[in-house]
Amino acid sequence: MAGNAQEGRTSRIGNVLIRAAITLSMVATLNFVLFRVIPGDPAALLLGGARMSVSAERIEAQRQNWGLDRPLFPDQILDYLSATLHGDLGYSFKFRGRLVSDLIWERLPATIALVGLAQLIAMLCGVMLGLYAGWRRGGAVDRIAMGASLALYSTPSFWLAMVLVVIFSTALGWFPGYGIYSPGASIGSTDKILDYLRHLALPVAAVALGLIGQYVVVARAAMSDVVTEDYMVTARAKGLTNGQMLMRHAFRNAMLPLVTLITLNLGYVVAGAITVEAVFAWPGIGGLTVEALNARDYPVLQGIFLLLGVSIVAANLLADLAYGILDPRIRQ
Amino acid sequence: MTNLSQDKASLLEVDGLSVEYRLKGVSLRAIDRVSFALQAGEAVGLVGESGSGKTTTAMAIAGLLSPNARVSGGQVRYRGNLLPIDNDAAMRPHRWTETSVVFQGAMNALNPVHRIIKQIAEPCILKLGMSRAEATARARELLELVGIPTDRGTAYPHELSGGMRQRVMIAMALACRPSIIIGDEPTTALDVITQAQILKLLGKLRSQLNLALILITHDLSVVAESCDRVMIMYAGRIVEDGTVAEIFAKPKHPYTRLLIESIPNPASGIRIIRPIPGDPPNLMNRPSGCAFHPRCPSATGVCTTEVPSLEKFGWGRVACHLHRSSQEGRVAVHA
pLDDT digits (tens, 9 = 90+) for B206-232: 999 999 999 999 888 889 888 999 999
Mean pLDDT estimate for chain B? 87
What is the average pLDDT across B254-274?
78
Q: Which of B217, B222, B162, B227 is nearest to B189 (CA)?
A: B162
User: Is A34 a residue whose pLDDT tops 90?
Assistant: no
For residue A171, the model assigns a pLDDT of: 87
Of the listed ranges A264-268, B102-106, B259-263, the one predicted with least confidence: B102-106
pLDDT of residue B331: 44
User: Is it the case that residue A38 has pLDDT exceeding 80?
Assistant: no
Sign, CA dihedral B207-B211-B214-B216, equals negative
Which of the 8 DSSP states describes residue B104? -
DSSP bridge partners of B180: B99, B212
Establish if B97 touches chain A: CB-CB under 8 angstroms.
Answer: yes
pLDDT of res. A186: 60
ipTM of the complex: 0.86
pLDDT given for residue B6 in this prediction? 47
| pLDDT, position B313 | 82
In this prediction, residue A208 carries a pLDDT of 93
The pairing of strands B180-184 and B12-23 is unpaired
* Pairwise CA distance, residues A112 & A270, whole Å: 6
Q: Give the model confidence (pLDDT) of B7-61 as tens digits.
A: 456 899 999 999 999 988 888 999 999 999 999 999 999 999 888 999 999 999 9
A99 residue type, one letter: L
pLDDT, position A59 = 79
Over range A32-55, report the average pLDDT: 72
Contacts of B101 in chain A (CB under 8 A): 234, 237
Q: What is the structure's pLDDT at A51?
A: 57
**What residues are paired with B183 via a beta bridge?**
B102, B215
List the alpha helices (DSSP H) in B114-219: 116-128, 132-145, 162-174, 192-209
pLDDT in tens, A134-164: 999 988 999 999 999 999 988 888 899 899 9
pLDDT at A317 over 80: yes
For A41, other C-beta atoms within 10 Å of its C-beta total 13
Domain range A2-37+94-331, its CATH number among 2.10.10.90, 3.40.50.2300, 2.30.40.10, 1.10.3720.10:
1.10.3720.10
Neighbouring C-alpha atoms within 13 Å toward the C-beta of B170: 30
- Residue B29: strand, helix, or coil: strand
The dihedral built from the CA positions of residue B313, B317, B323 and B326, taken in this order, carries a sign that is: positive
Least confident of A76-90, A252-266, B175-189: A76-90
- A236 touches B: beta carbon within 8 Å: yes
The domain locations on chain B are 4-98+178-334, 100-177
The 10 Å Cβ neighbour count of residue B238 is 27
- Cβ–Cβ < 8 Å for B142, B120: yes
Distance CA B193, CA B250 (A): 29
pLDDT (0 to 100) of residue B333: 39
Count how many residues are written for chain A.
332
Amino acid A187: pLDDT? 65
Q: Which residue has the higher pLDDT, B266 or B26?
A: B26
For residues A35-45, average pLDDT: 75
Whether A329 has its CB under 8 Å from any CB of chain B: the answer is: yes
Label residues B246-268 b or e (16+ Cβ within 10 Å = b): bbbeebbbbbbbbbbeeeeeeee
pLDDT above 90 covers a percentage of chain B that reads: 59
β-bridge pairing B212-217 and B180-184: parallel
Q: Are strands B99-102 and B69-78 parallel, antiparallel or unpaired?
A: unpaired
How far is residue B332's CA from residue B250's CA, in Å, rounded to a whole number? 11
The residue of chain B nearest to residue A233, with distances taken between CA atoms, is: B109
Mean pLDDT of A196-215: 91
Give the minimum alpha-carbon distance from A260 to chain B in angstroms, rounded to a whole number: 17
Q: How far apart are CA B170 and CA A135, in angstroms?
A: 28
Residue A332: which pLDDT band, with cuts at 50, 70 and 90? low
What would the mean pLDDT of A167-173 be, rounded to a whole number?
88
Lowest model confidence (mean pLDDT) among A52-56, A138-142, A234-238:
A52-56
Stretch 162-181 of chain B: residues touching chain A, C-beta under 8 Å: 172
Best of A137, A231, A242, A325 to disrupt the B interface (most B CBs within 10 Å) is A231
- How much is the pLDDT for B300? 86
Residue A190 has pLDDT above 90, yes or no: no
Average pLDDT over residues A197-219: 91
Please report, for residues A135, A151, A211, the alpha-carbon distance to residue A140 in angstroms, rounded to integers and kept in the order given: 12, 17, 22
Q: What are phi and psi of B243, to 5 degrees?
A: -70, 155
pLDDT digits (tens, 9 = 90+) for B172-194: 999 999 999 999 988 887 888 98
Cβ neighbours, 10 Å, residue B143: 21
Structural domain B4-98+178-334, CATH architecture: 3-Layer(aba) Sandwich (3.40)
For position B332, what pLDDT does the model report? 41
Cis amide bond preceding A71, omega within 30:
no
| pLDDT computed for residue B274 by the predictor | 78
Cα dihedral B51, B52, B57, B58, rounded to 10, equals: -70
Residue B102 to residues B25, B128, B182, B187, Cα–Cα distance (Å): 32, 19, 6, 10
Residue of higher predicted confidence among A182 and A117 = A117
Task: Judge whether A220 is closer than 8 Å to chain B, CB to CB.
Answer: no
Record: contact B111-A326, CB cut-off 8 A: no
Mean model confidence pLDDT for chain A: 86
Q: pLDDT per residue over B81-116, tens digit each?
A: 999 998 889 999 999 999 999 987 666 899 999 999
CA pair distance B53, B32, nearest whole angstrom: 9
pLDDT, greater one: B187 or A55: B187
Confidence of residue A76 (pLDDT cuts 50, 70, 90): confident
Rg, chain B, Cα only: 21
pLDDT at position B228 is 92
Mutate to test the interface with B, among A1, A226, A234 (most CBs of B within 10 A): A234
Cβ contacts of B55 within 8 Å, gap of 6 or more: B184, B216
Q: How many whole angstroms separate alpha carbon A282 and alpha carbon A273?
A: 9
Amino acid identity, position A167? I
Helix-, strand-, coil-residue percentages of chain B, each rounded to 5: 40, 25, 40
State whether A234 and B127 contact (CB < 8 Å): no
Smallest Cβ–Cβ distance between B107 and the set A230, A237, A240 belongs to: A230
Closest CA to B117 of B142, B97, B98: B142
Q: Encode pLDDT of A278-306 as tens digits.
A: 888 888 898 899 888 888 788 888 899 99
Give, to the nearest 10 degrees, the angle between helix A189-227 and helix A140-153. 120
| pLDDT on residue A196 | 84
Parse chain A into domains and list their residue ranges.
2-37+94-331, 39-88
Q: Is residue B227 a contact partner of residue B215, using CB atoms and an 8 Å limit?
A: yes
Lowest mean pLDDT among A145-149, A270-274, A318-322, B148-152: A270-274
Number of other CB atoms surrounding residue B151 within 10 Å: 12
- Could you tell me where the DSSP H helices lie in chain A? 2-37, 42-48, 56-66, 77-85, 100-111, 117-135, 140-153, 157-164, 189-227, 230-237, 242-244, 251-267, 274-279, 285-294, 298-326, 328-331
Q: Is the pLDDT at B170 greater than 80, yes or no?
A: yes
